[in-house]
Each structure stands twice: as structure tokens, then as C-alpha cells.
Structure 1
Amino acid sequence: MRMEDGGKAVRYECTRCGACCRWAGDVCVETDEIREISRFLDMDEQVFIDTCCRLRANRRGLSIRDAEDGACMMLTKDGCRINPVKPRQCRDFPNKWNFPGWRDLCRAREVGEEREA
């Protein structure tokens, strides 16, 4: 839930523009996500880890590797190669986490007020 000016909670919908896939930083993947992504890509889990992951900067887990241009290696000209099984970190942005200035970089559109669960 994100609070906007005026104190109301606002929900956003991804437009799949790929902007967030081009930002520097770790795209963390957990064990269950590695299993799901490798299955989706029809790859052995260890092959996926060896070819598509790297040790995170904090050395406490794995992250999806960057492409040569710094974007996520799963980003193609057609969008996210693993969109149906993308990592939690990707699914949760910007509704569950974001950072100062994210609106200047992201094209997510406001879809209304967040509802209480």
C-alpha cells in the first residue's frame, strides 16, 4: 500500500514498460522462485543458477544476472521473458515497495485506492 499526497492509499498497475528492468541493482530470487522460473524456462535448476544467477552484492543470496547493457538479462525486446513467474520483488513493485523518485522513472498507472484486506 502506497500513501500519496493527501494520505490516501493508492494502488498501481504495471504497464510492462520495462523501465524497472533497466535499473541497476539486485533482482533477488529465492529458492522457490528459482524452482518455478527454471521449470518455466524448461531448464535444470542448477543450470539456471549457473547461467542466469549471481551472488548478490550483500553475499546473502542469489540475484538474476544483468545483461551487458545493465538491464535484467530476462528483459527482451518483447518484455519480460519470465513475466508469468517473475520474482516476488518484481511483482511487488511499486505497491509493496518503492523508493524516492520512482514515479519519475516508472510508468505504472494509478488504478485507484488500495482496499483493506
Structure 2
Amino acid sequence: MAARKKWYSQGLRFSCTGCGYCCSGRPGYVYVNDEEIAQISQYLGLETAEFLSRFTRETHRERSLNERPNGDCVFLDPISRSCRIYPLRPRQCRTFPFWNSNLRRPRDWEDVCRTCPGCGKGPVFSYETIEELRRVIDL
């Protein structure tokens, strides 16, 4: 039996505008694994233990970056709205908006596109590229 084509089999358009939407707003989790923790700690010139205590919290699933009271990621600069660890941002950030939760149905993608100005615009990401990104982290 042939595999059923996914609704995004023709690809999806996305171009990051640098607006910070995906780094702010409603509370949530930005999961970080051991490799990301080590890389970000080194990038910031901190011992791993200090990085963990200052910038992360334990969740039901794994470690997550802290957020400010307004929901912004702790690494989102409040003035420039840019990421202070962009070169080493976690896999969750690198793969947005191509998460399972945003790709289940066209309606889920449309929900993201209502708030993310880069969603539905820019170059087409091929089905193969989307699948590769989607498999990086299960969200």
C-alpha cells in the first residue's frame, strides 16, 4: 500500500523576519539537550553549572530555557528583539515553524501563519527539507 501524501507534500513557504514572535508571548518551553547546554555555556563563557542555574529549569520532559515574566525567552534582547545566542540557538528554535504540532493539519499551519509574519512567505521549503527539520525534535 502506498504511503499517503502529507498535505504539505508540495512544500511550504517560510522566511524568518526576525520579529521575535517565536521567542516571546505565551509561556512555554524551549528544550535544551546536554550538547546544546555545553555549547551555549561555552559561548557565554560560563561553567555549565552556572549556566544551568541562571538560565534553565527542569521540566517534566527535560531542561528548558527560562523565560521572563512577560513570556519572552531569557535570551531575547528586550530592545533589539534579537536572540543573544543566535549562532547556537537550540534545535527547537532552529526548526521553527516546522514542528509536528504545526504540521498535523493545514489548520495548524494556518494558526501559526496568523501570528508569524514569515509563515507562508519567502522561499518554498521542500517536503524533504520539512521532513528533515520536523524529525529534529518532537514538538
TM-score range, shorter chain: 0.7 to 0.9
> Equivalent residue for 2:15?
13
Greater CA radius of gyration, 1 or 2?
A: 2
Moved more, 36-45 or 93-102: 93-102
1:83 corresponds, among 83, 86, 99, to 86
Corresponding position of 1:95:
98
Please list every run of 5 or more consecutive structure 2 residues that lacks an aligned counterpart in the other structure. 1-5, 103-107, 130-139
User: Residue 28 in 1 paired to residue 31 in 2?
Assistant: yes
State the match for 1:73 in structure 2: 74
CA offset at residue 15 of structure 1?
1.6
Gaps of 5+ in 1: none
Identity of aligned residues (%): 31
Higher helix share: 2
Shift of 1:3: 4.6
SS at match of 1:102: helix
RMSD, matched Cα = 2.0
* Ranges of 4+ aligned residues in structure 1 off by more than 3 Å: none
Is the alpha carbon distance of 1:17 and 1:97 closer, same or farther for their aligned partners in structure 2, counting shifts above 3 Å?
farther
Q: Structure 1 pair 43/3, CA: closer, same or farther in 2 (3 Å)?
A: farther
Q: For the Cα contact (< 8 Å) 1:11–1:95, is it kept in 2? A: no
Whole-angstrom CA distance in 2 between matches of 1:107 and 1:98: 18
SS of aligned partner of 1:95: coil
TM-score, normalised on structure 2? Answer: 0.71
Q: Residues 107 and 98 of structure 1: is their aligned pair in 2 closer, same or farther, counting only changes over 3 Å?
A: farther
1:105 paired residue among 115, 118, 136: 115
